[in-house]
Structure 1
Amino acid sequence: MSIRALVYGDVDLNIIDGSAIWAQSMTQALAAAGCDTTLLLKSPVRTDRLVAPLVGLPDVTVRRPYEESLARDLGPRGLTPEQAIELITTLDGRQRFDLIVVRGKRLASVAAHTDALKGRLWTYLTDVPQNVPDLSVTAVTELTDIALASRFLLCQTEELRGFLESAVPAACGKSVLFPPTVVVPDGLTASGTAHAPLKLVYTGKFAQAWNTLEMTELPAALAARGTPAELHMIGDKIHRDSPEWAKQMGKALENTPGVVWHGGRPRAEALELSAQCDIGLSWRAPELDASLELSTKVLELGALGLPVVLNRTPMHESLLGADYPLFADGDLDAVADTIALAADPDTYRTAARRCAEASARFTLDRAAERLRSYLGLAFPPRPEGTDAALPLKVVIAGHDLKFFTRLADHLISLPGLEVRLDEWEGLRTHDQYRSRELAAWADVVICEWCGPNALFYAQHKRPGQRLLVRLHRFELYAEWPRKLDIDKVDAIICVSPYYADLTRELAGWPADKVVVVPNWVDVEQLARPKLPGAEYTLGMIGIAPSRKRLDRGLDVLAELRKRDPRYTLAIKTKQPWDYWWIWNRPEERDYYERAYRRIQRSEALSEGVVFDPFGPDVAVWLRRVGFMLSTSDDESFHLAPAECAASGGVPVVLGWPGADTIYSRRWVHESTEAMADAVHAIVTEGRFDAARDAARAEITENYSLRGVSHAWTRLIVAGEHPEPVRLENVGGALTQP
């Protein structure tokens, strides 16, 4: 049975603008990804310019609330958010949707507080605060509620995703990219050359910040420069925030020499008119330069083969290149000068090629491929050996599930498994009645931490029930493993081969009961473009307690800054005084006082060390980090270097016990001097890209969330012990990957 999806945007499909085109293209992309897709309209259909292409498409149903009388008390401006969510809930009750895509912050907020829809929302975010001053406490609270209720938050750009995750911790791990989708008719392309007179084209809404009134002055400005031109404007939505401006805009469209106003047109016809022109316009007021959204119109015009005049912004430079020739910087005269440059054939061809290449990354096929990936995460197949009618009953028990959360989410999403959580209030504190009830119910119990929870479930284990216990470094030297009845346990799970061997040695348990399932790395979430200069930024995540050895990280930085002052160390961490059990120990306090005094008194270090607040926005932070240091005395796994590698960085690991069983030897070094040598050699010899590609491939193959989740699934369902990770030991740090 195909996945059933509903799409609703708080947008009017009678008006051709980016938000209306989104509703059309999202519906098309979901259908292309294999979903049985329903598009629910907001307003009565007064023109079917955007709806008509969807009618009759396989696996697409268009529901019209007004024409079908689906709701009562409908006003002339379309469904209110409250009416829309009530109607969605009604339709969902008749035939359940697997996912519900919504667009519009107020609409999403209403949906987030509707219990029946929670967990199935795929929320597309655009009309949200996009700068720090607008992030009020109310706005953050509202976005947090939306994030918690959503399965995914669909973000148009990497910039928007990063800003959202930095401001709203609940968005981390849920924010995924869904850029604008460009759909143009097959074979429709511009001529590829500029003509005389030069035909400029603008499509979309007419608004002050979009400089549409100023655009009408371009034909005269270009004529004064000896470049005959005419401006073709397509659209019929004039913003009326300022009645006086709206009146001026209307007169300019109707009466300005050289301006041809085509009014509102069906999308296909608007694209055909645009293809007959020479240059697209997306010149906007400076206050929009900080926007974290990408214009669908720019991409559409580029897909037609038209070069586009647009503002120079970091996002546009990333899209088209910093040397794109038709960036419009400044006022009307500066823009006219830029357009006049396009009369040069080489300049025109270069700009048209750049726009076409950029737009090729936003096709319907790319959107459908991206959605198929997200659908695979949200709706994994039923594991072999399970029965959807008689699901395997699984309990996950522990006092702190933060290291198991994403694995739990995966298990909960699996058809054929019924998963319940037994979250203990503290290490020894829990609801004994609920725990006993769950012990009597479960087919499989997973104890996260080998603590009192493991002792409890071993004591209450039923015949035929399987008990899996994950042991961390914390418990290995504690009392609980010695008290655990190992005969009641089917598998002890450790995250690394070294600690598995140590567990067998210290606990004396049968070797075959101790298995290795490594920590997971969310490769898909972490794989983001690096920021310029990342190769000169070292990183450390978490520097407490002292066995994390901040002093060694400072040694590496000091050595590197002797060679190049561009090297810096970014430290994302809680401070040691944030942990009472660390700061109350005199030897710990003395260690950090010495380390921080060293930073303060060293000119090289004081200008090269940056402390960043601890938080879940690791993926955003890692965009600026090229190398991750691991300088600890000991680690059970140490996830930070693996996360950095998944993000497109390079692990730099000191040889703590067992390090070479987790990371291949090319990343493991004997001393801080060797670590500094390796970093500098990779940078100065131009091997950063090769090194990070090799690191990412290694981590993806061995520790990806998908792979580790599969290993856990087979262990739970069939008792299969995973194959050990095979690392490629290819020599020392300076060996070229």
Structure 2
Amino acid sequence: MTKPPLRALVYGDVDLNIIDGSAVWAQSMTQALAAAGCEVTLLLKAAVQTDRLVAPLSSVPGVTLRKPYEEQLLPDLGTRGLTPDQAVELMARLDGESHFDLVVVRGLRLATLAAHNETLAGRLWTYLTDVPQNVAELNSAAVSELTDIAVASRFLLCQTEELRGFLESSVPAACGKSVLFPPVVVVPDDARGTGTPSEPLRLVYTGKFAPRWNTLEMTQLPEVLEERGVPAEMHMIGDKVHRDSADWAKRMSRALEGTDGVVWHGGQPRAEALRLSAGCDIGLSWRAPEMDASLELSTKVLEMGAIGLPVVLNHTPMHEELLGSDYPLYAGEDLDSVANTIVLASDPEVYAEAARRCGAAAARFSLERAAERLRGCLRDVRPAAPAGTDPQRPLKVVIAGHDLKFFTRLGEHLKSLPGLDVRFDEWESLRAHDQYRSKELAGWADVVICEWCGPNALFYAKNKRADQRLVVRLHRFELYAEWPRKLDIEKVDAVVCVSPYYADLTRELAGWPADKVVVLPNWVDVEQLRRPKLAGAEFTLGMIGIAPSRKRLDRGLDVIAELRRRDPRYTLAVKSKQPWDYWWIWNRPEEREYYERTYRMIHRNDLLAEGVVFDPFGPDVANWLRRIGFALSTSDDESFHLAPAEGAASGGVPAVLNWPGADTIYSRRWLHEDPGAMADAIHSIVSEGRFDAARAAAQAEITENYALEKVCRMWTDLVVSGTVPEPVSLPDSAVTA
């Protein structure tokens, strides 16, 4: 039976009567969700005074417009549109009428209120732009507010990678929820530039008129260019004049209406604004220097590129990422530098190259690409019921354990599935728990999953019914403890280990039947980790977690010391808690002695003192990995070791010492016998120009074997039907990157 389309509600705290980037967002977000297959309700903020942005949506299948003023949906509506409080009240009411699967919101105050509304929390897709974008502005109150929003949101939609990284490094709750959703560019088929500069040269700006957007200065360009022998017109499209300063607003209005060479088209429907722009030669997105640090990407730059126009804009890291460091039309801070750049653009060859760069950049932001991104997120909203289950009579599943951090995403996945009713029995510690609740859940469940083979597994084995299935996941920690020896294995249907080596070791040490011990690997959130690498990442090695001493930081230091003898650009970045942060480590004399000796070695060795960086522990691993080219595993032993797999998923290269069982998790191309061999391999990959090929091979291997989506399917099959997955397939060890 075909599932009905997902229902989405969209509201931005923006007035669609005024054409600017935020209003265009509401239109394009609605179009993108509809293109992704949703039924979309767009709630308008203000009474419709012009249908420039609204009219094109009327013909989009599956889109419904709700007009609170025309429909008189609320009493006492003010003249400036819905307040955030009114908007949230109205969204909750509309949701009560037709339950929405997702609620997309834009606007910080609005999102804060929506996050505190119990009816909407959990289904919010919050689009973040008007948030603090530097450390100075991000005070404790702002962090608290953003944390509330993150906790209540299913996804946080970030316009740029820079904003996503800043948010995750500042707000831990945003990690794992932040997804990249850049601006959407939709242009009419008949809006295309000529591809060559004309005479007079026609410059164009569209959007709001505001001091930091340098719009008043732009009106002087025809005169300044005339002095350089370049006849020019300045076409300006829009009708929103910022009135923060009454004097500036007057001067701006006078300049629009009475400056020679300035052609003011006023406000226009979006499609007509693009057609007018296409009749010009060069787009302008030149802003004041204080906006260079903005983490937002101008939709207007992309629209100009999409219609075939080159754009004069500020030289910023974000624009370098978009257009390249050698883009020819970067402007300086003053009017003269902009005029000089425009003169340069009048050269046909320069013009053609700049237009090509802008067009290629804009192609990455099409409506089709936006719909594709949204479909990836929408798959998580309403997954299909697993085969063999009945949503009307769901399989009852309990997940029990004292520490569920390694099972969080798996538990979330199982809980989201129709056909499964999942409940959690979270123990206070290894032994402390609510016995009455645990017994109640033991009597209720069809399937019990014990995370850790500890007292929780002993309890549920003791209280297991004959018609019940019990699955226990065993980690390295418990293997050498007393609990596996006390567990009645006859009561257990499957013991899950994360690697073949530890599965074999478990069978040997515990003496359990071979078919009771199965392998389901750790998961890697490839979609969250797959991000663009920062420049120079190939020279940065990374280690995640260096405690206890068997993680062997000293071997990582041997690797970086050897590499820095060859090239001082190599650096080792360590993301970890410090050993003294763990009382059970720091209280052991041999552990303390190891770290004191190792840290003295860093301090006293010039190669290490300038080549090792310690970064704070935190969940922002995906953002941190953007600068890591090689993820190291130098441990004495590991059950799986996620760090090199995450490094590979991020687009880096795993570098793993051949600890016992490593060859059952990672193919041999990434394994090394000692630190010297590891350093040799890393330097060969970098110096021979094989970094991109190696990282592509590593990312493909990890995605194929350990992607979160695949591991979730394995667990679903095991829980629903007891199906044991096939072992992972590692590439032939003879293959080299």
TM-score by length of 2: 0.99
User: Aligned residue for 2:524?
Assistant: 521
Q: What's the counterpart of residue 263 of structure 1?
A: 266
1:342 aligns with 2:341: no
Indicate yes or no: 2:94 matched with 1:88: no
Match of residue 506 from structure 1: 509
Cα displacement (A) at 1:736: 3.6
Partner of 1:296: 299
1:729 to partner: Cα distance: 3.0
User: For 1:249-260, what aligned pairs fall within 5 Å after superposition?
Assistant: 249-260=252-263
1:148 aligns with 2:151: yes
Per-residue deviation at 1:223?
A: 0.3
Corresponding residue for residue 610 of structure 2? 607
Residue 478 (structure 2) pairs with residue 475 (structure 1)? yes
- Give 2:718's aligned amino acid: L
Match of 2:208 in 1: 205
The equivalent position to 1:664 in structure 2, one of 663, 667, 685, is: 667
Q: What's the CA shift string for 1:688-721, capped at 9, x where partnerless?
A: 0000000000000000000000000010111100
Deviation at 1:677?
0.5
Q: Give the counterpart of 1:160 among 159, 163, 183.
A: 163
Cα deviation 1:364-393 (Å, max 9, x = unaligned):
000000000111123222211111111111
1:110-509 mapped onto 2 (5 Å cutoff) = 110-509=113-512
Letter in 2 for 1:264: G
1:569 corresponds to: 572
- Please tell me whether residue 676 in structure 1 is matched to residue 676 in structure 2: no
Report the Cα distance in structure 1 between the residues aligned to 2:553 and 2:449, rounded to whole angstroms: 35
Aligned to 1:7: 10
Q: How many residues align?
A: 734
1:432 positional shift:
1.0
Residue of structure 2 aligned with 1:698, choices 686, 698, 701? 701
Q: Does the 8 Å CA contact 1:29/1:367 hold for their aligned counterparts?
A: yes
Q: Distance in 1 between matches of 2:707 and 2:380?
A: 13
Q: Deviations over 1:422-468 (max 9, x none)?
A: 11111111111111111111111111101111111111112211111
Q: Which moved more, 1:376-385 or 1:531-540?
A: 376-385
The CA distance in 1 between the partners of 2:194 and 2:59, in whole Å, is 32
Q: Secondary structure at the match of 1:97?
A: coil
Identical residues among aligned pairs (%)? 76
CA distance in 2, matches of 1:371, 1:97: 16
**Displacement of 1:101 after TM fit?**
0.3
Residues 234, 270 of structure 1: 8 Å contact kept: yes
Q: Is the 8 A contact 2:453 2:475 kept in 1?
A: yes
Distance 1:565 1:332 in 2: 42
Tell me the SS of whatever aligns to 1:53.
Answer: helix
Q: CA RMSD in A?
A: 0.7
1:95 Cα deviation (Å)? 1.4
* Alpha-carbon distance in 1 for matches of 2:247, 2:446: 71
Equivalences for residues 644-663 of structure 1 within 5 A: 644-663=647-666
- The Cα of 1:395 is off from its aligned counterpart by 0.9
Q: How far apart are the structure 1 equivalents of 2:345 and 2:570?
A: 41
Residue 38 of structure 1 pairs with residue 41 of structure 2: yes
Tell me how far apart the structure 2 counterparts of residues 468 and 414 of structure 1 sit (CA, whole Å): 19
Deviation of residue 520 (structure 1)?
0.3
For 1:736 and 1:715, how far apart are their aligned partners in 2?
A: 34
**3-state SS of paired residue (1:265):** coil
- Structure 1 segments unaligned to the other structure (5+ residues): none
The letter of the residue matching 1:374 is C
Question: 1:69, CA displacement in angstroms?
Answer: 1.0
Q: Which amino acid aligns with 2:163?
A: L
Residues 1:642 and 2:626 aligned together: no
Residue 545 of structure 2 contacts residue 577 of structure 2 at CA under 8 Å; is this kept in 1?
Answer: yes
Looking at structure 1, the residues matched to 264 and 584 of structure 2 have their Cα atoms a distance apart, in angstroms, of 71
User: Distance between the aligned counterparts of 2:419 and 2:592, measured in 1?
Assistant: 51
| Aligned counterparts of 1:239 and 1:129: Cα–Cα separation in 2 | 21
Q: How far apart are the structure 2 equivalents of 1:125 and 1:429?
A: 41
Report the AA paired with residue 66 of structure 1.
Y
SS in 2 for 1:166: helix
Counterpart in the other structure of 1:620? 623
- Displacement of 1:283 in angstroms is 0.3
- Measured against aligned partners, the alpha-carbon deviations of 1:647-702 in whole angstroms (never above 9, x if no partner) come to 01001100100000000000011111100100010001110000000000000000
SS in 1 for 2:425: strand
Deviations 1:203-248 (A, max 9, x none): 0000000000000000000000000000010000000111111111
**Partner Cα distance (1:454, 1:378) in 2:** 32
Distance across 2 between alignment mates of 1:525 and 1:680: 28
Residue 516 of structure 1 deviates from its aligned partner by 0.3
**Who is 2:69 aligned against?**
66
Q: Separation in 1 of the partners of 2:219 and 2:417?
A: 57
Return the alpha-carbon distance in structure 2 between the equivalents of residues 727 and 474 of structure 1.
26
Provide the rounded CA distance (Å) in 2 between the counterparts of 1:280 and 1:537. 39
Which residue identity is paired with 1:127? Answer: D
Q: Which amino acid aligns with 1:617?
A: D
Amino acid at match of 1:496: S
Q: Could you tell me whether the CA contact under 8 Å between 1:200 and 1:277 is conserved in 2?
A: yes
CA–CA separation in structure 1 for the residues paired with 2:438 and 2:237: 65
Q: Secondary structure at the match of 1:117?
A: coil
2:686 match: secondary structure: helix
DSSP-derived class of the 2:10 partner: strand
| C-alpha distance in structure 1 between counterparts of 2:463 and 2:210, whole Å | 69
2: distance between equivalents of 1:242 and 1:463?
A: 77
Question: Residue 153 of structure 1 aligns to which amino acid in structure 2?
Answer: L
- The one-letter code sitting in structure 2 at the alignment partner of 1:574 is K
User: Matches of 1:587 and 1:606 in 2, distance apart?
Assistant: 24
- Match of 2:508, SS state, is helix
- SS of the residue aligned with 1:457? helix
Query: Which deviates more, 283-292 or 110-119?
Result: 110-119
**AA at the equivalent of 1:172:** C
Give the Å deviation of 1:172. 0.3
Summarize deviations over 1:138-197 as a string: whole Å, max 9, x none.
000000000000000000000000000000000000000000000001242011110000
Which of 584, 595, 617 aligns to 1:581? It is: 584
Give the C-alpha shift of residue 413 in structure 1.
Answer: 1.2
Conserved? CA contact 2:400–2:425, under 8 Å: yes
1:687 — aligned with what? 690
Q: Residue 549 of structure 2 aligns with which residue?
A: 546
Q: Is the 8 A contact 1:687 1:736 kept in 2?
A: no
Q: Which residue of 2 aligns with 1:536?
A: 539
1:414 counterpart letter in structure 2: L
